[in-house]
Amino acid sequence: MKLKKNIAISETGFVFDPNSGDSFTLNNIAREILELFQSGKVKSDISFHVLNKYDVDEYTFERNYEDFIGMLNHHNLLENE
């Protein structure tokens, strides 16, 4: 799973899709996950990062991660593989 290469993410969590003109605002964890996508990290790497940095259990991470991926797909921000 990869984020489209032309998606811009600012340090404050502002996301811009130049293809659609849509923009979004992310919280810190979502911004970090997108940055990890951009650096080529896979789900297991992202899970390790989030579970070790934040006070969250694995079940909660999985549920929220899948919701987030669904949102990214809904807004067409991921590349088809």
Matching residue, tokens 């940055």 = 35
Report the predicted TM-score, pTM, of the whole model to 2 decimal places.
Answer: 0.85
In the prediction, which pLDDT does 81 show? Answer: 66
Task: State the Cα–Cα distance between residues 10 and 22, nearest whole angstrom.
Answer: 14
pLDDT for 79 beyond 80: yes
Helices within the chain (DSSP H only)? 28-38, 43-53, 58-74
Read off the pLDDT of residues 3-17 as tens digits, 9 standing for 90 and up: 888 999 998 999 999
Read off the pLDDT of residues 21-64 as tens digits, 9 standing for 90 and up: 999 999 999 999 988 988 889 999 999 999 999 999 999 999 99
